């Protein structure tokens, strides 16, 4: 008998309008869409034009209206403060509609942008949903980014308001957020009208002109009803690393996104409205948007939001404690988190006195799942460990075992086969499809399914040039890999200068810009090298200016500090190597691609235009991650 996931996949490609037209019934529309897919401006596609809805109403109001207001919507658990906060759907709706009222009083209306720079507190979700309720467009910025990165996002999104907190907490260390916001506002050309500050008890922030405390913003505000928006209106912008230093504003629309969220949680992840679901990510990343906030709430289940790391506070049993305490049915995290736990507790002893029998599945994504981590997690947890591959751009999985649709057997090293909606092909450099087992550029035939990016914020041209021009008719994922004889996909790594550090996506271009700014550095290249825990970490290779004689340790300290100050601590640059020369072509271009290939362990011919092959040979051990 045919496999249900395979049947769904075939149908979604043969009849996208029929398939996604039916899936649209999972969402409550104010005006149902007239058309499922508009291809009149291909290769720019729009899903559900003519449809009208409100995403927040789908996430909250409809569950309350259906009599499920007492169901727990959110469990917030902080390993740092020891606090657990539970909010039912009815309570979350009250908090969100009141905060939407506060935003409206500050002038935020449909279409206005709001930057959210918050740690993992319930207010982060409340702020996102309040924006959605107003039809405003949120742009959440991850707390590990430094003020210049924030300023770049402010100047691109041009927000009406910024929402932040007095501090975040990182491994027991209080990180003041407000000074970072102040510095970013000084750097940015655009001036937001208002800054709302959530004062956390760990640190009180000084307020300046135009700043208002969260509680004061609520004073006198009344609840607001959901604002009806077009399916094609933007719900949020999420900036991600581009190949240049300028971040790319990934746009998510309301209609396609709501359908993709409502469809993917039950079908891909096998989670229904009676489940407790935990995505151990951060709201600053796409996983946090899709699977901490929107998908579980649109589905009507319980979402767990965790402030803490998998290790350290208190120990490598932290995740198992959360699963036991909240009877979590499925956990979604990055392989790096599992590697960090494995390093601290290789025999899984922290599991011994925990009851994690509620757990049905572990989902891992964000970076390549190495066979050792897969095997270890499978053994100690005794549940299926499901690799799933996707990107900020797509917003939901491109390839995964379909846990809610007759799952196929898992294969080590593969996120299984493409998910319905995605026509994945592996192409050579001429755009020709390659045979199984041959490495190539993983690409997706257009149109992409609902919920994926329709464009980049304010920049259709960049969307076209960055994603759609390499292979006409296809979306270029930027990942390389191959398929096997059964159509299982193997994602081997990026083909561009994006690196993946502890499941966090960074571009080496922006790190290089920061390193090159050091007065003693003549030129540099930053390459991701293998790391046992984080998968990849950046390593900077610097050539010193003639005549400069810096102390290597001091130089390393200063370069690291520069990167922290301009990109942010999340860049995790700790390793700066002074080298006599960088490999170049005879015309003087640094051979970053060849350096990357060596670092990734890929066989790639060295260009015949190389100036001096010995320079590359000398660097090879350092590129492979050797210390
Ligand atoms: N605000 C401020 N600083 C932050 C931050 C935030 N929200 N998030 C991270 N940072 C800082 C950290 O404190 C750290 O600073 P340090 O260099 O002073 O120690 C730096 O950025 C790097 O953070 P991180 O990459 O998280 O490394 P870590 O060593 O603190 O922890 C792991 C390592 C593997 C435990 C951690 O990265 C992890 O749990 N990763 C899971 C990945 C994940 O959730 N990915 C999302 C996609 S699913
Ligand atoms: P992000 O946009 O931050 O989600 O990062 C997306 C990138 O992470 C992808 O383009 C891949 O390079 C990588 N990635 C995500 N999930 C996987 C996976 N399951 N296997 C291999 N690489 C992955």
3-state secondary structure 180-206: HHHHHHHHCCCCCCEEEEECECCECCC
Same domain, 89 and 128: yes
Report the CATH number that the domain containing residue 195 is assigned in CATH: 3.40.50.12780
Of the residues 426, 448, 477, the one at which a domain ends: 477
Best mutation site among 170, 511, 533 for ligand 1 pocket (most ligand atoms within 8 Å of CB): 170
Residue 198 included in any domain = yes
Same domain for 510 and 425, yes or no, is no
C-beta separation of 242 from 508 below 8 A: no
Nearest CA to ligand 2 atom 19: 389
Nearest atom (ligand 2) to Cα of 389: 19
Give the nearest ligand 1 atom to 168 CA.
Answer: 1
Separation of 423 CA from ligand 2 center, angstroms? 17
Predicted local confidence at residue 264, as pLDDT: 98
Mark whether 578 and 444 lie in a shared domain: no
Find the 366 Cα to ligand 2 centroid distance in Å. 4
Would you say residue 338 lies in a domain? no
Q: Give domain status of residue 342, yes or no.
A: no
Q: pLDDT value at position 245? A: 64
Based on the structure, what is the number of domains in the chain?
2
Taking the CA of 309 as reference, the closest ligand is 1
Q: What is the pTM of this model?
A: 0.96
Q: Are residues 398 and 506 in the same domain?
A: no
pLDDT at residue number 243: 64
Domain span at residue 66 reads 4-308+390-477
Residue 25's pLDDT is what? 98
Residue 488 lies in a domain: no
CA distance 215 to 201: 13
Ligand 2 pocket, residue 503 CB under 6 Å: no
Instruction: Compute the distance between CA of residue 109 and CA of residue 227 in angstroms, rounded to an integer.
Output: 9
Domain membership flag for residue 357: no
Residue 358: inside a domain, yes or no?
no
Task: Assess if residue 284 is contained within a domain.
Answer: yes
pLDDT at res. 496: 87
Whether 233 and 111 have beta carbons less than 8 Å apart is answered as: yes
- Please give the average pLDDT of every successive group of 10 residues along the chain, which has 627 residues: 90 97 98 96 97 98 98 97 97 98 97 98 98 98 94 96 97 92 96 95 94 96 98 97 79 98 98 98 97 98 97 94 98 97 96 96 96 97 97 98 93 96 97 96 98 97 96 96 96 90 90 94 94 93 94 95 94 93 93 89 86 93 83
d(CA 594, CA 586): 15
- Please indicate, yes or no, whether residues 466 and 594 belong to a single structural domain of this protein: no
In a domain, 368, yes or no: no
Q: Which atom of ligand 1 is nearest to the CA of 175?
A: 2
CA-nearest residue for atom 15, ligand 2, is 366
Residues 572 and 431 in one domain: no
Task: Give residue 254 CA to ligand 1 midpoint distance, Å.
Answer: 30
The reply to whether 139 and 211 lie within a common domain is yes
- Ligand 1, pocket residues at CB < 6 Å: 119, 142-144, 168, 170-171, 175, 281-282, 285, 287, 309-311, 334, 336-337, 340, 365-366, 502-504, 533, 569-570, 572
pLDDT of residue 66: 98
User: Which domain CATH number covers 528?
Assistant: 3.30.300.30
473 and 507 assigned to the same domain: no
Q: Which ligand is nearest to the CA of 142?
A: 1
Cα distances (Å, whole numbers) of residue 229 to 32, 44, 222: 12, 20, 21
CB atoms within 10 A of CB 141: 26
> From the CB of 491, is ligand 2 less than 6 Å away?
yes
C-beta of 334 in contact with ligand 2 (< 6 A):
no
CA 370 to centroid of ligand 2, rounded, Å: 13
Q: Quick one: pLDDT at residue 241?
A: 81
State in Å: Cα 389 to ligand 2 middle. 6
Q: Same structural domain for residues 263 and 148?
A: yes
């Amino acid at each position: 008998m045919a496999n249900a996931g395979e049947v769904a996949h075939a149908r979604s490609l043969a009849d996208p309008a029929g398939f996604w037209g039916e899936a649209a019934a999972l969402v409550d529309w104010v005006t149902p869409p007239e058309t499922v897919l508009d291809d009149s401006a291909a290769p720019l596609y729009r899903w559900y034009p003519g449809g009208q809805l409100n995403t927040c109403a789908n996430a909250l109001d409809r569950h309350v209206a259906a009599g499920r207001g007492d169901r727990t919507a959110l469990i917030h658990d902080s390993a740092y403060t020891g606090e657990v906060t539970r909010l039912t759907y009815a309570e979350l709706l009250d908090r969100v509609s009141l905060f939407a009222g506060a935003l409206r009083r500050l002038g935020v209306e449909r279409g206005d942008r709001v930057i959210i720079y918050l740690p993992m507190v319930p207010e982060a979700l409340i702020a996102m949903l309040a924006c959605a309720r107003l039809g405003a467009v949120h742009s959440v910025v991850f707390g590990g980014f430094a003020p210049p990165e924030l300023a770049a996002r402010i100047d691109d999104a041009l927000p009406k308001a910024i929402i932040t907190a007095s501090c975040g907490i990182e491994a027991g260390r209080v990180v003041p957020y407000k000074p970072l916001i102040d510095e970013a506002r000084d750097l940015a050309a655009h001036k937001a009208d208002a800054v709302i500050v959530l004062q956390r008890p760990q640190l009180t922030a000084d307020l300046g002109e135009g700043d208002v405390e969260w509680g004061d913003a609520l004073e006198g505000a009344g609840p607001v009803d959901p604002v009806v928006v077009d399916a094609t209106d933007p719900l949020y912008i999420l900036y991600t690393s581009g190949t240049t230093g300028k971040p790319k504003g990934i746009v998510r629309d309301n209609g396609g996104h709501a359908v993709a969220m409502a469809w993917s949680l039950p079908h891909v992840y096998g989670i229904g409205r009676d489940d407790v679901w935990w995505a151990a990510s951060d709201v600053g990343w796409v996983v946090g948007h899709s699977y901490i906030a929107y998908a579980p709430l649109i589905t009507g289940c319980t979402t767990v939001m965790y402030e803490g790391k998998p290790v350290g506070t208190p120990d490598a049993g932290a995740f198992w404690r959360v699963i036991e305490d909240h009877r979590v049915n499925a956990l979604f995290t990055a392989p790096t988190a599992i590697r960090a736990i494995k390093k601290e507790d290789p025999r899984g002893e922290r599991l011994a006195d925990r009851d994690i029998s509620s757990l049905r599945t572990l989902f891992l994504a964000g970076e390549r799942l190495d066979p050792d981590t897969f095997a270890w997690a499978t053994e100690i947890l005794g549940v299926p460990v499901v690799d799933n591959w996707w990107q900020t751009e797509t917003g939901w999985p491109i390839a995964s075992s379909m846990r809610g649709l007759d799952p196929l057997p898992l294969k080590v090293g593969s996120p299984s086969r493409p998910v319905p909606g995605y026509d994945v092909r592996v192409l050579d450099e001429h755009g020709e499809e390659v045979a199984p087992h041959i490495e190539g550029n993983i690409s997706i035939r257009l149109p992409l399914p609902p919920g994926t990016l329709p464009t980049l914020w304010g920049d259709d041209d960049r969307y076209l040039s960055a994603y759609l021009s390499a292979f006409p008719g296809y979306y270029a994922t930027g990942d390389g890999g191959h398929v096997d004889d059964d159509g299982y996909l193997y994602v081997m790594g990026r083909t561009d200068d994006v690196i993946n550090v502890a499941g966090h996506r960074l571009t080496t271009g922006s790190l290089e810009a920061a390193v090159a700014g050091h007065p003693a550095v003549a030129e540099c290249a930053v390459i991701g090298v293998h790391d046992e825990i984080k998968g990849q970490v950046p390593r900077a290779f610097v050539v010193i200016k003639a005549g400069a004689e810096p102390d290597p340790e001091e130089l390393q300290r200063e370069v690291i500090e520069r990167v922290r100050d301009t990109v942010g601590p999340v860049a995790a640059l700790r390793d700066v190597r002074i080298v006599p020369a960088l490999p170049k072509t005879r015309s003087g271009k640094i051979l970053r691609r060849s350096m990357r290939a060596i670092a990734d362990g890929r066989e790639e011919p060295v260009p015949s235009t190389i100036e001096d092959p010995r320079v590359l040979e000398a660097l090879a051990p350092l590129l492979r991650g050797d210390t």
